[in-house]
């Protein structure tokens, strides 16, 4: 029983890390593309559309700051805030999983 419990926690930790990693990569790419004023290509559109769902809870918290240049560069502080909050959530879930794994280990020993 002990082996299955540890396997479950390892799988949950791996899933947590995978989801956080994907979210962070998408949001970071969106941030960089917006700051650099990337031209709309199929890839850029895909990044914007895919990351839109991750940004939904944070829309409207901060107004985007448009730079005075012809490239259309925009500083999206909401994206940076989303990365920060998702990071905090990731570490909170990781801490909870570690805590429950330790309790599970102590009760099965």
pLDDT, one tens digit per residue, over 35-85 is 999 999 999 999 999 999 999 999 889 999 988 878 789 999 999 999 999
Range of the domain at 97: 2-108
Residue 6 has pLDDT above 80, yes or no: no
pTM across the whole model: 0.86
Confidence of residue 4 (pLDDT cuts 50, 70, 90): low
Cα separation values, 77 from 44, 55, 74, 91, 105, Å: 19, 11, 9, 21, 42
Number of domains in the chain: 1
pLDDT, averaged across the chain? 90
Cα separation values, 17 from 35, 71, 85, 87, 97, Å: 27, 35, 15, 10, 12
């Amino acid at each position: 029983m002990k082996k299955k419990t540890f396997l479950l926690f390892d799988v949950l930790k791996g899933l947590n890390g995978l989801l956080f990693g994907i979210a962070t990569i998408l949001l970071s790419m969106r941030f960089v593309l917006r700051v650099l004023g990337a031209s709309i290509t199929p890839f850029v559109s895909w990044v914007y559309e895919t990351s839109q769902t991750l940004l939904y809870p944070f829309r409207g918290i901060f107004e985007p700051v448009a730079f005075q240049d012809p490239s259309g560069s925009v500083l999206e502080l909401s994206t940076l805030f989303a990365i920060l909050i998702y990071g905090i959530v990731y570490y909170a879930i990781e801490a909870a999983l570690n805590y429950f794994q330790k309790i599970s280990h102590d009760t099965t020993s």
